[in-house]
Chains A and B, each alone.
Chain A
Amino acid sequence: MEGDTIAAIATAQGAGAIAVVRISGPRALPVLGELLAPDASLPAPREARLRSLHDPGSGELIDRALVVTFRASASFTGEDAAELSCHGGRLTPALVLAATLAAGCRHADPGEFTRRAYLNGKLDLLQAEAIGELIDADSPALRRSAVFRMERGLSERIEGLREALIRVDALLSYGIDFPEEDEPPVSNEAILAAVSEAGARIEQLLRTAPEGQRLRRGALVVLAGRPNSGKSSLFNALLGRERAIVTEVPGTTRDALEADTTIEGYPFRLVDTAGLRTATDRVEAMGIEVARRYLGEADLVLFCAEAGRELGEDERRFLQDSPSPVLLVRTKADAARGIETGSKSVRVAIPDGEGLARLRRELRERAFAGSAAEEEVPLLTRERHARALRGSTAALEEFQRALEEGEPPEFASVHLRDAVSGLEELVGRVSPDDVLDEVFGRFCVGK
């Protein structure tokens, strides 16, 4: 019994000069052969050749395409594979795909090419995830992080940690298995020192985990303030387009408006909310309720208040009680020139752009402070990553506690092995099926 052969259109659907249809599996080359004219030869592996493609049933010419074949030993999926670059558009690629299906291929499931590459050991789990993120990346920072991981940057660090912990386990085992050898067993102090060094390296990675998830989803920045405090103008200015309706009428924004944008290379989700006041009509009241929920989840709240006036009691209470970090923005600064409003706030004037550059820098530094300090982009972009590493650090703490409390080494070592399996799970050495499904379920077809 052999695995089946899959095919899919790998490029975006719709207009375009060319589209790529990908085939992978044990029958990839015979399938391609059925599409070629009877007298045409299969191109040698890794050499691009122009071939005409025919419907295997009717023999009708579909297109002329640039064809490349790959042998299993040197292909993305680790299986025999082919890539057909045909003309783009809505019909031609679909006809080429249909021809491969007629020749015996199955339409690939979402993420199946990458999944096969993983199963064939061509990629580890972190690399497979990174490819998905690279494709989806809208911000330069996420792209950089994904490329680093695709090139095994994170995998190598995790494997280094894993090896370090296995070395410690070996030191413990040396003491157990060779009680009468020349070299005395390694001291607990030395073992604890090695473990806390590994623990510190994991902590360092973990510190960027919240920012990593922000990197993938965008940092949630919520604009709040009294009605008519300039939130929507600021929202539009940060987006660089007129997304929110701006009027002089308080309560114009009823629902929360959400938009993605990139600020200084980092991804943000901006939310403009209904002004907070005791609403007079029901629709506005519901909008205020939605705003409160956003405020609870926000990575940063931009609290808007016009420059040049004292903050009211309600505003001061908001600043004090907010569950999320808040930055006070003094809006409409052009109308209050020369009036000092305190150093902890940012003054902005939308018409002439005053303060916007500073505000953008503040946003990036506050939402991605760690990566600014570490001088590298965050690497742990998924809850799965953080969960696995938190499991490892918890196990390492248990190990340290056990050793310090004088528990026998063979028992303490159980915790060490737990820590190692957390790291292995992260790289996908031992991956429970649900992890795999989670990872590969997120790909769209053809990747």
Chain B
Amino acid sequence: MIGTEFDVVVIGGGHAGTEAACAAERIGARVLLVTGNLGALGQMSCNPAIGGVAKGTVVREIDALGGIMARAGDRARIQFRMLNRSKGPAVWAPRVQCDRHRYPEVVRELVEQHSGVRLFQGIVTGLIIRNGRVCGVRTREGVEISARNVVLTTGTFLRGRIHIGTGSGVPGGRAGDPATVELAHQMDDIGVETARFKTGTPPRIDGRSVDLARLQRQDGDEEHLRLSVWTREPLLPQRPCWIAWTTDRTRACVEDALSQSALYGGEIAGRGPRYCPSIEDKVVRFPDAERHQLFLEPEGLYTTEIYLNGLSTSLPLDVQEAVVRSVPGLEQAVITRPGYAIEYDYYPPHQLDATLRLKEMEGLYLAGQINGTTGYEEAAGQGLLAGANAALDALEKEPVVLERDEAFIGVMVDDLVTRGTDEPYRLFTSRAEFRLLLRQDNAHTRLGQIAEKAGLLTERQLESLRVRREQRAETLGWARATSLTPEEAGPALEAADTVQIAEPTRVDRLLRRPKVRIRDLLAASAAAPTLDPDAATEVENDLRYEGYLVRERERAEQVRRREHLPLPASLAYESLQTVSTEARQKLSRIRPRTIGQAARIPGVRPTDIQSLLVELRRRELVGERST
């Protein structure tokens, strides 16, 4: 037995677990984080990168909610790129390559800055359950820790099995770390539905054995932006990535050895991600593709080791070597760590509510890969939300629920708890109905008040957000009220490669022209307000795309009005004859909170929603009559 009761105990120290512990602590909870290996907090088990399309926006949202991933990414990053710059700013996506060894160190440092988080090493083998409620955990060594709420973030460690080539594989949660079985058994006993997923990693190679001169170099952006608005520390130097392509010989190697692949030899039954396919998948599913692109990503500043992004595989080591060496520039490559596939338990997430609490078990929250997602960012976003809600519940405060038009994290959680997922879930911009509103540049504006209300930010952070808010409002007002003369606007227009103006023109009108930058216009006017560079992009987009944004917001409002019609918990779906049989079963199983959630459940048709609306209206009328 350790000390007194904790408000929140977090099991697992990955991207979900560390965010959960930190978020709970910021809210004021007494937190304990227990993990099998304290030396591996915030480990990057797969590729050494953070961010990307939609994911980068999640990282910014985590930052806005006071989380640590953006700051850790900034401080460990050895390359920054803004993806999708050739498209519109609503889908710009920051992505950093990180020093794999530096990243966990920074995470550890950031976690330790949360003085109310106690760290403890141990493998949790059981939940302590009393009166149908989780109230603590027990480790393999018999240590008992009592908790008001428990957050489970065990990633791929539950009944994990690692496969390299055929054979039954070996138990493991990640190369080098053991799997957890006892906890998985207990979850079965509780009656939690379980399913299997698989995922894979590519081999890593020794950079000294690669002929980089024959590869295409990909450098980071010159203008280095940061993931976090709170990062003040100096940044590390940047390193390039390299692009290579597979050949016919690669395909031949893979085809000849398909029967030896764990993924194709029938050893793994679980489903894998469609969008991060193994090389076996690529060869089988795209037989006509001449070649596939590989990204060689540096593992760190002080190592030559390279991560072969795009070559995820579970083929035997000798085949992996032949496959790697079939790539021009990699003929002499030496594998340092073989690629492998891992299959693991996950808990289909329709069993959770919107706060990520298990519906059928008080006191237990689930976050990360255990909910069927893939990706560090998806895990971290859920961890933050689950940790915050576990703390808020323990302290008897209002929970945080993020809506679909507020955050990509909200889109993800809503997708998970209403639709579930039958393949590892990853975020895309196209999952969001209102992606113009969910930009990476406006995350802090979108989520500032939510973070403040939940108590997720420090005084200093709140003050800095207040300043940002004021600057933004002032600049928007200035842009709508100020006209620049042709002389003043001249340089800004020239820089944007657009025609000059003849008459004084308002700043917001000038910004409608593509490529005109607000910082140039601010510089042109003596009366211009000061504006933080990070906020400049946001204000620029708010003004340039105002017409679209106004419409999108209106539409979001419309959806919300219907969306938020609450469905009474007592609604007996089984007896609603006008609802289709399939929908009736799903509705009674999932029990959505609102009409909006009901509408997103697969198998529930628009006509079912019409019937529910009619039923709600009818109840309303009956209610009116009886009161």
Could you list which residues of chain A lie within 8 angstroms of chain B, going by C-beta atoms?
Answer: 1-3, 25-26, 72-73, 78-80, 116, 118-121, 169-170, 173, 175-183, 406-411, 414, 428-431, 433, 436
On whether the beta carbons of B90 and A1 are closer than 8 Å, the reply is: no
Answer whether A173 and B577 are a contact pair too, CB < 8 Å, given A119-B607, A182-B289, A406-B514: no
Q: Pick the contact of B610: A169, A181, A183, A431 (CB < 8 A).
A: A431
On whether the beta carbons of B295 and A180 are closer than 8 Å, the reply is: yes
Could you list which residues of chain B lie within 8 angstroms of chain A, going by C-beta atoms?
Answer: 53-54, 83-84, 87-91, 93, 275, 289, 291-293, 295, 428-430, 435-436, 514, 545, 548, 551-552, 572, 575-578, 580-581, 605-608, 610-611, 613-615, 618-619
On whether the beta carbons of B293 and A182 are closer than 8 Å, the reply is: yes
On whether the beta carbons of A430 and B293 are closer than 8 Å, the reply is: no
Give the distance to chain A from B571, nearest Cβ to Cβ, in Å. 8
On whether the beta carbons of A177 and B611 are closer than 8 Å, the reply is: no
Taken together as a complex, chains A and B put the C-alpha atoms of A114 and B91 apart, in Å, by 45
Taken together as a complex, chains A and B put the C-alpha atoms of A1 and B623 apart, in Å, by 13
Taken together as a complex, chains A and B put the C-alpha atoms of A25 and B576 apart, in Å, by 11
On whether the beta carbons of A1 and B619 are closer than 8 Å, the reply is: yes
On whether the beta carbons of B607 and A411 are closer than 8 Å, the reply is: no
- 13 A-B pairs with CB atoms under 8 Å apart are A2-B575, A2-B577, A3-B578, A116-B578, A119-B610, A121-B580, A121-B608, A177-B428, A179-B84, A410-B435, A410-B436, A429-B606, A430-B606
On whether the beta carbons of B430 and A3 are closer than 8 Å, the reply is: no
On whether the beta carbons of A409 and B575 are closer than 8 Å, the reply is: no
Extra contacts, 16 of them, besides A182-B289, A429-B606 (Cβ < 8 A), are A3-B576, A3-B578, A72-B577, A78-B578, A79-B577, A119-B614, A120-B580, A176-B429, A406-B514, A408-B91, A409-B88, A410-B87, A410-B88, A410-B90, A414-B548, A436-B610
Q: Pick the contact of B53: A120, A179, A183 (CB < 8 A).
A: A179
Give the distance to chain A from B580, nearest Cβ to Cβ, in Å. 6
Answer whether A121 and B87 are a contact pair too, CB < 8 Å, given A116-B578, A410-B436, A411-B545: no
Answer whether A121 and B607 are a contact pair too, CB < 8 Å, given A407-B88, A410-B90, A411-B90: yes
Taken together as a complex, chains A and B put the C-alpha atoms of A394 and B188 apart, in Å, by 55
Taken together as a complex, chains A and B put the C-alpha atoms of A408 and B572 apart, in Å, by 47
On whether the beta carbons of B577 and A26 are closer than 8 Å, the reply is: yes
CB-CB under 8 A from A428, the residues of chain B are: 606
Residue of A nearest to B431 (CB): A177
Residue of A nearest to B290 (CB): A182
Q: Pick the contact of B607: A120, A176, A408 (CB < 8 A).
A: A120
On whether the beta carbons of B611 and A411 are closer than 8 Å, the reply is: no
On whether the beta carbons of A410 and B293 are closer than 8 Å, the reply is: no
Taken together as a complex, chains A and B put the C-alpha atoms of A407 and B90 apart, in Å, by 12
CB-CB under 8 A from B615, the residues of chain A are: 1, 3
On whether the beta carbons of A411 and B88 are closer than 8 Å, the reply is: yes
Q: Pick the contact of B611: A119, A180, A183, A433 (CB < 8 A).
A: A119
On whether the beta carbons of A173 and B428 are closer than 8 Å, the reply is: yes
Give the distance to chain B from A234, nearest Cβ to Cβ, in Å. 50
Give the distance to chain B from A77, nearest Cβ to Cβ, in Å. 9
Q: Pick the contact of B84: A176, A182, A411 (CB < 8 A).
A: A176
Taken together as a complex, chains A and B put the C-alpha atoms of A175 and B430 apart, in Å, by 11
Taken together as a complex, chains A and B put the C-alpha atoms of A333 and B310 apart, in Å, by 87
On whether the beta carbons of A178 and B53 are closer than 8 Å, the reply is: yes
Give the one of B84, B551, B576 with max A CB within 10 A: B84
CB-CB under 8 A from B275, the residues of chain A are: 178
Taken together as a complex, chains A and B put the C-alpha atoms of A190 and B580 apart, in Å, by 40
Give the distance to chain B from A100, nearest Cβ to Cβ, in Å. 18
Taken together as a complex, chains A and B put the C-alpha atoms of A407 and B54 apart, in Å, by 20
CB-CB under 8 A from B93, the residues of chain A are: 179
Residue of A nearest to B610 (CB): A119
Give the distance to chain A from B589, nearest Cβ to Cβ, in Å. 19
Give the distance to chain A from B495, nearest Cβ to Cβ, in Å. 18
Answer whether A25 and B577 are a contact pair too, CB < 8 Å, given A176-B53, A176-B429, A182-B293: yes
CB-CB under 8 A from B90, the residues of chain A are: 408, 410-411
Taken together as a complex, chains A and B put the C-alpha atoms of A179 and B572 apart, in Å, by 46
Give the distance to chain B from A433, nearest Cβ to Cβ, in Å. 8
CB-CB under 8 A from B84, the residues of chain A are: 176, 179
On whether the beta carbons of A180 and B83 are closer than 8 Å, the reply is: yes
CB-CB under 8 A from B618, the residues of chain A are: 1
Give the distance to chain A from B117, nearest Cβ to Cβ, in Å. 35
Give the one of B91, B545, B576, B615 with max A CB within 10 A: B91
Taken together as a complex, chains A and B put the C-alpha atoms of A436 and B231 apart, in Å, by 55
On whether the beta carbons of B87 and A175 are closer than 8 Å, the reply is: yes
Residue of A nearest to B85 (CB): A179
Residue of B nearest to A28 (CB): B577
Answer whether A414 and B436 are a contact pair too, CB < 8 Å, given A3-B578, A173-B428, A178-B53: yes
Residue of B nearest to A26 (CB): B577
Give the distance to chain A from B85, nearest Cβ to Cβ, in Å. 9
CB-CB under 8 A from B428, the residues of chain A are: 173, 177
CB-CB under 8 A from A3, the residues of chain B are: 576-578, 615
Q: Pick the contact of A2: B292, B293, B576 (CB < 8 A).
A: B576
Taken together as a complex, chains A and B put the C-alpha atoms of A181 and B275 apart, in Å, by 10
Taken together as a complex, chains A and B put the C-alpha atoms of A436 and B611 apart, in Å, by 12
CB-CB under 8 A from B578, the residues of chain A are: 3, 78-79, 116, 119-120
CB-CB under 8 A from B54, the residues of chain A are: 177
Taken together as a complex, chains A and B put the C-alpha atoms of A409 and B83 apart, in Å, by 14
CB-CB under 8 A from B613, the residues of chain A are: 433
Taken together as a complex, chains A and B put the C-alpha atoms of A181 and B428 apart, in Å, by 14
On whether the beta carbons of B87 and A409 are closer than 8 Å, the reply is: yes
CB-CB under 8 A from A406, the residues of chain B are: 514
Give the distance to chain A from B575, nearest Cβ to Cβ, in Å. 5
CB-CB under 8 A from B577, the residues of chain A are: 2-3, 25-26, 72, 79-80
Give the one of A25, A408, A431, A433 with max B CB within 10 A: A408
CB-CB under 8 A from B575, the residues of chain A are: 1-2, 26
Residue of B nearest to A170 (CB): B430
Residue of A nearest to B572 (CB): A1
CB-CB under 8 A from A79, the residues of chain B are: 577-578
CB-CB under 8 A from B607, the residues of chain A are: 118-121
Residue of B nearest to A118 (CB): B607
On whether the beta carbons of B576 and A177 are closer than 8 Å, the reply is: no
CB-CB under 8 A from A120, the residues of chain B are: 578, 580, 607, 611
CB-CB under 8 A from A429, the residues of chain B are: 606
Q: Pick the contact of A181: B293, B429, B545, B606 (CB < 8 A).
A: B293
Taken together as a complex, chains A and B put the C-alpha atoms of A278 and B451 apart, in Å, by 80
Give the distance to chain A from B499, nearest Cβ to Cβ, in Å. 15
On whether the beta carbons of A176 and B572 are closer than 8 Å, the reply is: no
On whether the beta carbons of B551 and A410 are closer than 8 Å, the reply is: no
On whether the beta carbons of A173 and B430 are closer than 8 Å, the reply is: yes
Taken together as a complex, chains A and B put the C-alpha atoms of A121 and B90 apart, in Å, by 37
Residue of B nearest to A433 (CB): B613
Taken together as a complex, chains A and B put the C-alpha atoms of A182 and B289 apart, in Å, by 9
CB-CB under 8 A from B551, the residues of chain A are: 414
Q: Pick the contact of A410: B91, B289, B611 (CB < 8 A).
A: B91
Residue of A nearest to B514 (CB): A406
Taken together as a complex, chains A and B put the C-alpha atoms of A430 and B577 apart, in Å, by 20
Taken together as a complex, chains A and B put the C-alpha atoms of A80 and B578 apart, in Å, by 10
5 smallest beta-carbon distances between A and B, as pairs: A408-B88, A173-B430, A177-B428, A121-B607, A410-B90
Taken together as a complex, chains A and B put the C-alpha atoms of A61 and B76 apart, in Å, by 90
Give the one of A26, A177, A179, A181 with max B CB within 10 A: A177
CB-CB under 8 A from A121, the residues of chain B are: 580, 605, 607-608
On whether the beta carbons of B548 and A411 are closer than 8 Å, the reply is: yes
Taken together as a complex, chains A and B put the C-alpha atoms of A173 and B84 apart, in Å, by 12
Taken together as a complex, chains A and B put the C-alpha atoms of A430 and B563 apart, in Å, by 13
Residue of B nearest to A73 (CB): B581
CB-CB under 8 A from B292, the residues of chain A are: 182
Taken together as a complex, chains A and B put the C-alpha atoms of A178 and B514 apart, in Å, by 24
Give the distance to chain A from B559, nearest Cβ to Cβ, in Å. 11
On whether the beta carbons of B87 and A176 are closer than 8 Å, the reply is: yes
On whether the beta carbons of A177 and B53 are closer than 8 Å, the reply is: yes
CB-CB under 8 A from A118, the residues of chain B are: 607
CB-CB under 8 A from B430, the residues of chain A are: 169-170, 173, 176-177
Taken together as a complex, chains A and B put the C-alpha atoms of A121 and B53 apart, in Å, by 38
